[in-house]
Structure 1
């Protein structure tokens, strides 16, 4: 999975539509191999981003869990600690 795509489910506060759209953009970029599509592919690229955003929002809305929501700040601190350990020389 692309490292820029983050888990968006079960956080407090919930993921925003902008966060879901950004993840969809990263996903479409990854599978297409384009950072920016050509003019010929721009419309298909935009449609794909919107479709992935819509289905992702639907998925996030339908998922259920008994686990308590995760705190964004705590999870970010854990990620920073893992990165520091991973990249320490």
Structure 2
């Protein structure tokens, strides 16, 4: 899965429409294989982003969870730790 697409469910404060749209945009970019579509494809690209954002909003705002809410700060710290671990493994392999 694309690393830029983040978990959006169960955050405090709640996930914003901007975050949902950004995830939808990343998804459409990934599946279409293009960062910026041609003029001929712009309308379908934008429509796909809109529809995916709408559906994602239904999922994020409609699902129930019994887990404690996540915070963006904790999720960022976890991602940073995963990155540091990944980088350390890569550096060790290259040194071998």
TM range (shorter): over 0.9
Count of residues paired in the alignment: 89
Match of 2:63 in 1: 63
CA–CA distance in 2 between the matches of 1:86 and 1:37? 32
CA–CA distance in 2 between the matches of 1:6 and 1:67? 17
Match of 1:45 in 2: 45
- Alpha-carbon shift at residue 24 of structure 1 (Å): 0.2
CA–CA distance in 2 between the matches of 1:76 and 1:61? 22
- Alpha-carbon shift at residue 71 of structure 1 (Å): 1.7
Moved over 4 A (4+): none
Match of 1:2 in 2: 2
Instruction: Select the structure that is richer in strand.
Output: 1
TM-score (ref. length: structure 1)? 0.96
Q: Which has the larger radius of gyration?
A: 2
Structure 2: which 5+ runs fail to align? 92-96
- Alpha-carbon shift at residue 85 of structure 1 (Å): 1.2
Aligned-pair Cα RMSD in Å: 0.8
